[in-house]
Amino acid sequence: MKFLVISDLHGNLEVLDKMDDLFKKADAVLFAGDFAKFEHEETGLPALEKLCAKHEQIFSVLGNCDNPDFISETEKRDVSVQGGLVMSAGLAFAGSGGGSKFTGTTPNERSDEDLVSDFSIITNQGEQEWNNLIAIMHNPPKDTKCDTIPGGIHVGSQLLREFIETYKPLAVITGHIHESAGIDIIGSTTVINPGALTEGKYAWLEAEKSGDSWYVKSATLESL
């Protein structure tokens, strides 16, 4: 399957209209949160509606700039995997929304414990490898190429990293840290921060099945 990987749209409707050919090439879209522009929660709904018009299969979570109550809008449109588990074409999709408590100036900042609790549907089933899981988390895991801010400081979540190390999903889609677009590996898991879509950045993920196991065929960073 070929996935268009995006995050941090921040209310930018114009950039979506530049991507029609990309949406047509994708089997599904993975969106790692921040529909809304910083300090403008009202931009979230038009962004969601525009995105939903671009593709029929979207898996998404909320970002730190999205009001927590906005999840009702994504659930209404059947595009949310936050706190849930969705199966499609043999793959499992689960998600964690919001960002770590950091600035205190955005509406959806949460503790590390709250962030990882969104995966309780996974963790409650006991420790096991989830080779067919694509985990979408707005907040990146700690100590990767995907969570670094200027000065080389890693600001990701330690508990989300521990979740990845324990349950070994096929891939993790993240965002939040605009300046840290990157692809990294934690154990057997491919971690992708596509960069901010509002800045024209996105990524591709291709996953294939061989026998009983899934593997990442390719992962690439792109820009408009």
Residue 104: which pLDDT band, with cuts at 50, 70 and 90?
confident
Identify which of 60, 43, 41, 50 has the alpha carbon closest to the alpha carbon of residue 3. 60
Could you read off the pLDDT of 1-21 as tens digits, one per residue? 999 999 999 999 999 999 999
In angstroms, the Cα distances linking 159 to 7, 39, 162, 163 are 21, 27, 5, 6
**Residue 109 forms beta bridges with which residues?**
99
As a whole number of angstroms, the longest Cα–Cα distance in the chain is 48
Question: What would you report as the CA-atom Rg of the chain, rounded to the nearest whole angstrom?
Answer: 16
Q: Provide the CATH number for the domain formed by 2-223 in this structure.
A: 3.60.21.10
Could you read off the pLDDT of 39-94 as tens digits, one per residue? 999 999 999 999 999 999 999 999 999 999 999 999 999 999 999 999 999 999 99
Identify which of 36, 7, 38, 4 has the alpha carbon closest to the alpha carbon of residue 20. 4
Identify which of 159, 152, 143 has the alpha carbon closest to the alpha carbon of residue 191. 143
What pTM did the predictor assign?
0.97
Strands of the sheet with 2-6, listed across from one edge? 58-60, 28-31, 2-6, 201-210, 213-223
